[in-house]
Chain A
Amino acid sequence: MALPAETNPEFADYAHPERLVSTDWLAQHLGEPGLVVVESDEDVLLYDTGHIPGAVKIDWHLDLNDSITRDYVDGAGFAALMARAGIDRDSTVVIYGDRNNWWAAYAMWVFTLFGHPDVRLLDGGRAKWLAEGRDSTTDVPEPAVANYPVVERSDEEVRAFKDDVVAHLGKPLIDVRSPAEYTGERTHMPEYPEEGALRGGHIPGAKSVPWARAAAEDGTFKRRPDLEAIYQQEQGLSPDDEVIAYCRIGERSSHTWFVLHHLLGFDRVRNYDGSWTEWGNAVRVPIVKGAEPGSVARD
C-alpha cells in the first residue's frame, strides 16, 4: 500500500513532484505502514554510525551489483534483496544517502530498472536530515520478510550500454564529471594508477555539466527554473531530446538522470553506467580531449 504523494508547493513545478519528499514529510510519516526508508551511501560504513530510525541499508557494492559480472543483480536477486529489506511491490520506498544523494539516486535508478512503482528521494539526503537535528539511531531494524515478486530487469528505457552510446553519437550526451576529468587532464599522484581508465577525455559531442550544478548549497535539488536555466537555456537541451548521461561508473550521472527525467520531464534519458571506466578503456572508441565537446565523423 503506497502513501499519498507529498503536496509541497516547493516541488509543484517539477515534472514528477511525487518522486521527491521533504525531510518534514518524512519525519511526519516515519513508521507508517507501507513506507520503507532506505539509506544508500558512498561511504558504506556511514549507516552504522547512525541513520534515520527504521531505515534499512542497501549497499551498492554488496546488494545491487552482481558479484561476478559487471552488472546489476537479476530479478531473483532483486526480489531477495527486497524481501530482506521488508519491501513489497506496492511499498513506498524513500531513499536517501550521503554526498547529495548520489548513491541514493543510483539506487533509485536501479529500482527503476526493475520497475518498482513508487520510489522517491529524500530532498537534501542524509546531510539535511542530520543538519536539522532530526532523530537518528544506530539500531538496525529487523523487518518482517516481505514477499516481493521476481520481476526481470528491463534495461531498455533508462540504461545505455556502450554500443547504444556509439549508435547515439551526434545526439545529446552529458558528461557530469569534474572539468578536469572531462578535459582529460586529470591530476593523479605519482606511483598511483588513475582510477582505472587508460585514456582521459570525454565522449565526442558530450557537454560538460558537472552533476553538482543541479544541487543547491544544502544538497537539495535546485528548483525548476534554475534547472531549466542550466540544462535547457544554457545547454540547449529540450525535453523531447534523447539524452544519455555518464560519469565514471554511473553514480553521479544517476543524479543527473533524476534531474532530467523526474524534475524536468525529459522522457528519454538513459544513464550509461559503463561510463568512463568502460569508454576510457575500450578499444577504438572515439575520444575528445580538451574543453570543447568536439564531434565525430559519421557515415
Chain B
Amino acid sequence: MTDAATADLPPALAEIVDDFAALSVRDRLQLLLDFSRELPDLPSRIAEHPELLEPVPECQSPLFLITEIDSGEPDPDVHLYFSAPPEAPTTRGFAGILHEGLDGLPASTVLAVPDDLSHRLGLAEAVSPLRLNGMAAMLFRVKRQVRAKLAAD
C-alpha cells in the first residue's frame, strides 16, 4: 500500500507519508502537531517584508508563503518559507510537512509532486475536507510561484 502511495514522491515526502501511514488516526494528529512545532520561523529579511508573502485564503486560518529559487541554474533548488500564527496549528502542520518534504529540492522535483499529496496522509477522518483543500492550495500556490519564477529567471 505504501509503495503506491509514495512511489512518485521525493524521498523526504515519501518518508513522511510512510510515517503517517504507520500510525493510528489519533497519533497522526500528534505527528501533525510535531510538524506544526517544527515549522521554522521566517528569516528576518522576509519577516520584515510581509508584503512579499502570498496569502493562502483556502486555509481555514491565516497562512502566507513565498518560494525562492536559486538563480542562474537550469534546474534550480527551491526554498520555501511559510508564516502562520501559533494559534493555527493544523495549518502550520501542513506547512511544516511541505517545508520538510520539499525545501531545497530541485524545481523539477517540486513541480512533479502529485496534487493529491494532502490525501495521502491518512488524515481524511481526522480533519475536515476544507483543511485538506487548504493544504492542496498551499502546494498549488508553491508550484505556481516556482513556475512563474522559472519563467522570469
| A interface residue numbers (CB < 8 A to B) | 42-46, 48-49, 59, 61-62, 67, 98, 189, 191-193, 195-196
Distance in Å from the Cβ of B133 to the closest Cβ of chain A?
6
Contact of B58 among A43, A62, A192 (CB under 8 A): A192
The answer to whether the Cβ of B11 comes within 8 Å of any Cβ in the partner chain is: no
- Give the nearest-CB partner of B30 in chain A: A48
Chain B residues whose CB sits within 8 angstroms of the CB of A189 once the complex forms: 58, 137, 140
- Give the nearest-CB partner of A126 in chain B: B87
| B interface residue numbers (CB < 8 A to A) | 25-26, 29-30, 32-33, 36, 58, 60-61, 86-91, 93, 125-130, 133, 136-137, 140
Q: A43-B91, A192-B136 are in contact. List 13 more A-B contacts (CB 8 A).
A: A42-B60, A43-B61, A43-B87, A45-B29, A45-B90, A45-B93, A46-B89, A46-B90, A48-B30, A49-B33, A189-B137, A195-B129, A196-B129
Report the Cα distance A62→B122, complex, angstroms: 13
Contact B127 A62 (CB under 8 A): no
Report the Cα distance A63→B6, complex, angstroms: 30
Chain A, interface SS category: loop
Contact B29 A44 (CB under 8 A): yes
Chain A residues whose CB sits within 8 angstroms of the CB of B90 once the complex forms: 43-46
- Give the nearest-CB partner of B92 in chain A: A45
Contact A48 B140 (CB under 8 A): no
Instruction: Give 23 CB contacts A-B under 8 Å.
Output: A42-B128, A43-B60, A43-B88, A43-B89, A43-B90, A45-B36, A45-B89, A46-B89, A48-B29, A48-B89, A49-B87, A61-B125, A61-B126, A61-B128, A62-B125, A67-B125, A189-B137, A191-B140, A192-B58, A192-B137, A192-B140, A193-B133, A195-B129
Contact of B32 among A45, A62, A195, A196 (CB under 8 A): A45
Contact B126 A46 (CB under 8 A): no
Contact B89 A192 (CB under 8 A): no
- Decide: A44 near B127, CB < 8 A? Known: A189-B137, A192-B133: yes
Name the 7 nearest CB pairs between A and B, nearest first. A45-B89, A43-B90, A45-B90, A45-B33, A48-B33, A49-B89, A61-B126
Report the Cα distance A44→B90, complex, angstroms: 7
Distance in Å from the Cβ of A105 to the closest Cβ of chain B?
16
